[in-house]
Amino acid sequence: MEAATAKKAWPPEGTKAEPFVSTRNACKLCAPLGASIAFRGIAGCIPLIHGSQGCPTYIRRYVISHFKEPIDIASSNLSEESAIFGGGDNLKRALGNLTRQYQPAVIGIATTCLTETIGDDVGLYCDQYVKAKAGEAIPVLLHASTPSYRGTHIEGFHEAVRATVAALAEGGPAQERLNLLPGFLSPEDLRYLKEILADYGVAYTLLPDTSETLDGESWEEYEKLSAGGTPVPAIRAMGRAKATLRFGIPPDGQKTAATFLAETFGVPAVNLTMPIGIGATDRFCAALGEWTGKSLPRKYAQERGRLVDAYIDGHKYLFGKRAVLYGEADFVTGLASFLDEIGIAPVLIATGAAPGNFRETVHAVLKNSRETPEIVEDTDFLTIEEKARRLGAELVIGHSKGYSVSRKLGIPLVRVGFPIHDRIGGQRILHVGYRGTQQLFDRIVNTLIEASQEASSVGYSYI
């Protein structure tokens, strides 16, 4: 008789294992979370989650641990009864409570799996609420359909932006202004983009703008709504802009704010890879030059020149290194282009979403790679770990949820993107433009040098 502790081989010899289809530590977050962050980038806006109380509690905890800022997210607090008979009364009550207590300019409503499953018509409920409050001052009501069974946090983010533009943008005579849809970037990234736009001397609408709302100053007294965000009048003017610049992979059948503006108001849409790296930033600056008629300001030409010099200085530490990338599809595509540019081979490129055109877009930005990377969609971190081990990765680049992969494989992690829970300052990491690329480049080089230094038996101190 076999000992109780003996391990049997699986699958049994001569049989074939069934595909493993369970998600094990998903490489994604929920759609209402992304929508809440987008809504917080609108001036005077408070997010309202139409669903059970647990959803906003989870979102608040998750967002606060990254941004280290207070963020109020309301709930319509559905119970068993409202799940059966509909959540309209709860939603209207929540709208009234929020208006009295916060006096917001805007309320951004994001739906959940529960309310989408029971078929709540949020648009109808909002119309009924507005009619019932005729003659009273009420906030602008926005609503986005964001069930997590149909998308990830980045898709919830983009849906909230699209819904906002669809509800508020107005047409009219074209103005000398640009729209910039930056996607899910850090507040520091957005501050830098605003600096670039100001230096080009162009009027613009940046949507969303969390540069102050999710990375603000210290308060003497608690403020229910943070200052900052994209003003509603600026969003209304988006239908009169000369063009819309959008960062991220080209949409695959999904309507975006940029496509809405193009189809509804004839505003040309320019889709760009996130400007990480020299090539992608060159294309962004070229687009700005085309639509403003202005050349690259001197200070950015200097930043670019210093970055080229840094590439030369650090090339010997980077060339041929093998990296794993993971995160939102838009962000990861930009990072893949950057790594390819500096000589690092991104051997595994992963996202928890399934955007449909991720693979072809990534392949299109890889110009120099000698090795075809493994590209994985709709994945989890245990799958990433298994593949990274097999591919001989030397570096992991992504957010904090990949720390377990880095630790188990014994290779360093460069923390970028969202969420970053185990370090401070995630909201102040600069990723984009020549300046952000410089900072990322230095961090990656120094991370590899440090790993080599720590692994050395002599611990060399001069390189």
Give residue 21's pLDDT. Answer: 65
The residues spanned by each domain of the chain are 31-168, 177-212+229-292, 298-455
Give residue 249's pLDDT. Answer: 86
Give residue 304's pLDDT. Answer: 98
CA-based torsion, 455, 460, 462, 463: positive or negative:
negative
Give residue 23's pLDDT. Answer: 76
- Looking at the domain 177-212+229-292, which fold is it? Rossmann fold (3.40.50)
Query: CA angle, corner 140, sides to 138 and 143, nearest 5?
Result: 125
Give residue 370's pLDDT. Answer: 81
Tens-level pLDDT at each residue, the chain (463 residues): 344 444 444 455 555 555 656 777 888 999 999 999 999 999 999 999 999 989 999 999 999 999 999 899 999 999 888 888 889 999 999 999 999 999 999 999 999 999 999 999 999 999 999 999 999 999 999 999 999 998 899 999 999 999 999 999 999 999 999 999 999 999 999 999 999 999 999 999 999 999 999 999 999 888 889 999 999 999 999 999 999 999 998 766 678 999 999 999 999 999 999 999 999 999 999 999 999 999 999 999 999 999 999 999 999 999 999 999 999 999 999 999 999 999 999 999 999 988 878 999 999 999 888 889 999 999 999 999 999 999 999 999 999 999 999 999 999 999 999 999 999 999 999 999 999 999 999 999 999 999 999 988 887 777 7
Q: Which residues of 337-371 are buried (b: 16+ CB within 10 A; e: fewer)?
A: bbbbbbbbbbbbbbbbbebeebeebbeebbeebee
User: Per the CATH hierarchy, to which homologous superfamily does domain 31-168 belong?
Assistant: Nitrogenase molybdenum iron protein domain (3.40.50.1980)
Give residue 44's pLDDT. Answer: 97
Give residue 19's pLDDT. Answer: 61
Give residue 85's pLDDT. Answer: 86
Give residue 240's pLDDT. Answer: 98
177-212+229-292 with 298-455: one CATH topology?
yes
Q: Which residues of 156-187 are buried (b: 16+ CB within 10 A; e: fewer)?
A: bbbbbbbbbbebbbeeeeeeebbbbbbbbbbb
Q: Look up tokens 């010899």; give the residue.
A: 13
What is the phi/psi pair of residue 247, to 5°? -95, 140
pTM exceeds 0.85 for this model: yes
The architecture that CATH gives domain 298-455 is 3-Layer(aba) Sandwich (3.40)
